[in-house]
Chain A
Amino acid sequence: MRYCIDLHNHSCLSPCGSDSLLPAVLAMEAADKGIDMLALTDHNSGRNLPAFAEACEIVGITGIFGLEVTTLEEIHVLTLFETVRDALEFGQWIESILPRVHNSARLFGNQFVCDVRGTIIEEADLFLYGPADITFDALIEQTLEYGGLAIPAHIDRPANSVTANLGFLPDLPYSAVESIAMPPTVETLGYTVTQGSDAHYIEHIGRRRCFIESASDGFSGLRSALAAGAVSYLGF
């Protein structure tokens, strides 16, 4: 079966994400756009994943539970997990190694944690944009060891990408690499390439996606498809 996947999206928890981008809105809009497997990947925190999981369940799509981690080198990496529990635990660890800086909502934006209805439960005080006190190489290793998928984000972007910040793509066991442009404009060294929306506003939802060939729409199916390179793209 062919499934439509979008593994990179933010919610109102990310300081740079729109306050209107509630986890449930993300799930509903994505389902409407035909996405079968959808990840929420807020910056360095998983606090909106419980609401997101509930919403995915309601709209009938597969939720993938993740974070977009900022490494010491200020490289963004998608770390994706099968269960909310695993992602929350990983997220707590990442939050514990973030700089102890308070968020300034005026300068960086709000960091709302909400429930599935969009009611604000708390406002995260710790500035979530990072960077976590972990190197790029170590984060990839830790994520995989934790049973997750590790995908360097937007490797063709001029800021906060492995290509821009290191100058090259180190040879590491990535689950895939994410590119904004397709075909990629930077060296991908034969790794499986994914495309994701990186939605920060409601109108971004579903703007980029790709497709996997898989026996199931579960996390293990996703893992196998990425490992096998069984990914196709719109227009290719």
Chain B
Amino acid sequence: MMNVKELSTKLEYTVFALPDPVAQVTDGYTSDLLSDVMGNAAEDSVLITIQAHRNTIAVASLIGIKAIVLCNGRMPSPDMVVAAEQETVALLGTAENQFTTSHRIAAALGIS
């Protein structure tokens, strides 16, 4: 278990929104299909994706996902950042791809 601020600092992510730095994350989920995320991701997860738009925040909020890491250097749309603040979801970014991001987060959370 780790909070989103610690995770972001440890893995040197770009911070787009960090409305609740101490929100705890316990698991991760990697997917670029939001319907798959909606059906299968666990709450308190960090979502690893390239879907850099507002609907991703809505899905995250519905499930109770605490943080989103946008991979491959994708930049969030301005309304995505606003929604992340409103829905209290941390929005982070990295130049790394989904595979690398997933195994680094798993290692950081001690679940690899």
Query: Interface of A with B (CB < 8 Å)?
Result: 73-74, 99, 101, 104, 107-108, 129-131, 159
Contact = CB atoms under 8 A, between A and B. Distances in A.
Interface stretch (B5-13, B31-39, B64-72, B90-98): B31-39
Contacts of A108: 58
Nearest to A74: B33
Contact of A107 (B34, B35, B39, B58): B58
B61 interface: yes
Interface residues of B, number: 12
Which label, helix, strand, loop or mixed, suits the secondary structure of the B interface?
A: helix
B62 interface: yes
A159 B53 contact: yes
20 contacts: A73-B33, A74-B33, A74-B34, A74-B35, A99-B35, A99-B38, A99-B39, A101-B38, A104-B58, A104-B62, A107-B58, A107-B61, A107-B62, A107-B87, A108-B58, A129-B55, A130-B35, A131-B35, A159-B51, A159-B53
Nearest to A131: B35
Given A107-B58, A107-B61, 6 more contacts: A74-B33, A104-B58, A107-B62, A107-B87, A130-B35, A159-B53
Contacts of A107: 58, 61-62, 87
Contacts of B38: 99, 101
A140 B98 CA distance: 31
Residue among A101, A107, A108, A129 with the most chain B CB within 10 A?
Answer: A107
